[in-house]
Chains A and B, each alone.
Chain A
Amino acid sequence: MSQSEAVANGSPTAAGMTGFVQDWKADKQTYHVPWGKAMMWIFLVSDTFIFSCFLVGYMTVRISTADPWPLATEVFALSFFGSDPIPLILIAIMTFVLITSSGTMALAVNFGYRRDKRKTVMFMLFTAALGATFVGMQAYEWSKLIEYGVRPWSNPWGAEQFGSVFYMITGFHGLHVTAGVIYLLIVARKVARGDYDKKGYEIVEITGLYWHFVDLVWVFIFAFFYLL
C-alpha cells in the first residue's frame, strides 16, 4: 500500500505530537509508510546500536589505556609523487567519495518517484560505482597499515588497542558498504527490468535509506576515529 493510499483510507492525518498520539492510539497500523520502509528503519535503528557499541567500546579502551594513542593525522598521511606527506588525505578523499555517492543516491530516489526509470537506474549504478571506489580505497588503506606493521595486538607508535579498534570499526563499516553495493546492483537490475513499474518505486527510497545510513555512520567514524 502506498502512502497516498494510506492517507486516502482515512488514516490519521494530523501532524506533530497530535499525529503521534493518533497513530498510536488507533489500535491498528501505526506507521503509515510501506511495510518495507518501516522494517528498513527498524533494521537501521538496530544497526545504530551495533555501531554505537563499537564506538563506545573504542572510547572506553582509549580512555582506559595509559599508553599514548597513535596520531591519526600522521598515521593516515600520504605523500604523492615524493611530496611531503599530506595529513589524512586519503580519508578526506574517501569522505568526499561517500558524500558524492549519497548525493547521487538522493537523486536516484527522486527520479524514481518521478518514474524516470532510465535516470533512476543510471544514478543507482553511479552510486554503486562510487561505493565500490570507497571500498577499494579502504582496502588500499588497510594494506598501507598492514605494511607499517599495525596489527590488532600491536603497532609501532603507541597504545596496542589502536589496531584492533581500527580493523574492527572500519572493517565492519566496509562490510556494510560492500553489502550496500550488492544491494544497489540487485535493486537497480530489478528496476531496469521493470519489476516496479506497477508496484511503485518505494523500493528505491528504501535502498536509499540503507545507503544514506552507511554514509551517516561514516560521519561519526570520520569525526571520532580520524579527527579526534
Chain B
Amino acid sequence: MASEAGQQHPLGIYYKIWILLFVLSLFSYMVDYMDVQGFWRWTLVLIFMALKAGFILAIFMHVKWERMALVMTILGPPIVLLLLIFFMAVEGHYTESARVQYLGHDANQAPAHVEH
C-alpha cells in the first residue's frame, strides 16, 4: 500500500534486514567452505538465495509497501521465465545425450584441479 509520505519507514527495519542479508550471505558461503555437496548444496544455496532476493525486493526496494497494480507489473512477467528455464533444461539434456550417443563424448569426466 502506498504510504502517506512516499516510502518512509523506521530505520530499524533496514538495519535488521541488512544484518539478515549478511548472515544469509555468510551461510551460503559456509555451504561452499564446508564443502557440502549434492542435494543439500542445491537446497541450501537456493533457499538462501531466495530469502536474500525476497528481502532485498520486499524491504529495500519497498515492493512490500507498493500497491498491488505495481507489484503485479514487477513480479508477474518474470514468472514466464520458469517456462523458459524448463524448456531450455529439456533442450540442454537432449543436446548432451546426443553428444554422448552420436559423438562419443564422455559425460563422466572430472574437471582438472586448479593449481595456484
List the interface of chain A (C-beta within 8 A of B): 2-4, 6-7, 15-17, 19-20, 23-24, 30-33, 38, 41-42, 44-45, 48-49, 52, 56-57, 59-71, 73-75, 77-79, 85, 87-88, 92, 95-96, 99, 102-103, 105-107, 109-110, 113-114, 148, 156-159, 200-202, 205, 208-209, 212-213, 215-216, 219-220, 222-223, 226-228
Contact = CB atoms under 8 A, between A and B. Distances in A.
The winner among A65, A213, A219, A223 for most chain B CB atoms within 10 A is: A219
Contacts of B22: 96, 99
Given A33-B66, A59-B89, A205-B62, A95 B25 contact: yes
The range of chain B's interface size is: 35 or more
Contacts of A20: 67-69, 72
Q: Secondary structure of the B side of the interface?
A: helix
Instruction: Please list the 5 inter-chain residue pairs (A to B) with the smallest Cβ-Cβ separation, ordered nearest first.
Output: A63-B92, A66-B105, A20-B68, A64-B95, A23-B69
A110 B67 contact: no
A4 B57 contact: no
Contacts of B61: 208-209, 212-213, 216
B69 A30 contact: yes
A120 to B, nearest CB: 13
A54 B87 CA distance: 15
Contacts of B73: 31, 41-42, 45
A198 to B, nearest CB: 15
Interface in B55-109: 56-57, 59-62, 66-70, 72-74, 77-78, 81, 84-85, 88-89, 91-93, 95-96, 99-100, 105-107, 109
B11 to A, nearest CB: 6
